[in-house]
Amino acid sequence: MQKKKILFMVAGVIGLIAIGIITYALTQQPDGSPNITTGKQTKGSSSADVYKKFSFAPLSGVSYVVTTTAADGSVSTTETDKNGNSRSTHTINGKKSTTIAIGDTVYECTDDKDCKTVDSALTPEQLKEIQDMDDRVNAKLEENAKFVGKVSCPGGTCAEWKVEGADTVAGVYTFFENGRIYKIVTDGKYGSTQVYEYKDVSVKAPSV
């Protein structure tokens, strides 16, 4: 549950709640088990399904970095290691803020110092509300997605999909051939560009 808490918190800070929910969905397997395949775009990992069906490959058990550039030009970065620990860094009103989640413990740091633990507990009702929103978002994405074509991307060729509709997270979604998301570009006042990079990441608890 902790991954859901931290990603939802970060998404709320930068005005991208829906994208935060999508990111959480990527970390989950249907049976809750981790996905231990690599995140690299490698020869032989191609799947024709990525060109036929809009679907997110789960990222549970995978190390990756997400760089988000918001419509106002602000940039935030979220690093997640293979154990599900995460570190999200963003700048608000000129101050750098970092949120670190290690297991069930969450830390808030200002300018990479002055770290303190925070209470991020959500009630069962709030968790259910997030899960319900997650289900609605994903259903609408799949319902409104249209395949655009093949595009060049790091390591090879990617599948590009466009999602339209006032009641969904409209934008362009680009997937690696192994099914992993590469880029999400959303529109509107709270639009953003999210780029996913799959590499080894280690997240450790700060000194408090």
Nearest to residue 166, comparing CAs of 182, 193, 143? 143
- So what's the pLDDT on residue 52? 92
- So what's the pLDDT on residue 34? 30
- The tens digit of pLDDT for each residue in 1-21 reads 444 433 433 333 333 444 554
Pick the residue with more confidence: 112 or 197? Answer: 197
- So what's the pLDDT on residue 6? 39
Contact in structure between 110 and 89 (CB atoms under 8 Å): no
Nearest to residue 200, comparing CAs of 81, 83, 103, 113? 81
- The tens digit of pLDDT for each residue in 164-197 reads 987 778 899 999 999 999 999 997 778 899 999 9
Contact in structure between 166 and 182 (CB atoms under 8 Å): no
- So what's the pLDDT on residue 78? 95
Q: Which residues contact 59 (CB under 8 A, 6 or more apart)?
A: 26, 27, 35, 39, 80, 180
Structure tokens belonging to residue 146: 């249209």
CA–CA gap between residue 199 and residue 3 (Å, rounded): 19
- So what's the pLDDT on residue 79? 96
- The tens digit of pLDDT for each residue in 37-90 reads 333 333 334 455 899 999 888 888 999 999 999 888 889 999 999 999 999 998
Q: How confident is the model at residue 26 (pLDDT cuts 50, 70, 90)?
A: low
141 phi and psi angles, rounded to 5 deg: -60, -50
- So what's the pLDDT on residue 7? 41
CA–CA gap between residue 107 and residue 115 (Å, rounded): 6
CA–CA gap between residue 58 and residue 101 (Å, rounded): 20
Is residue 147 within a helix (H) or strand (E), and if so which, with residue range?
Answer: strand 145-153
| Helix 17-26 with 124-144: angle, nearest 10 deg | 90
- So what's the pLDDT on residue 37? 30
CA–CA gap between residue 198 and residue 196 (Å, rounded): 7
- The tens digit of pLDDT for each residue in 94-109 reads 778 999 999 878 999 9
Pick the residue with more confidence: 23 or 173? Answer: 173
Q: What is the DSSP letter of 179?
A: S
- So what's the pLDDT on residue 189? 78
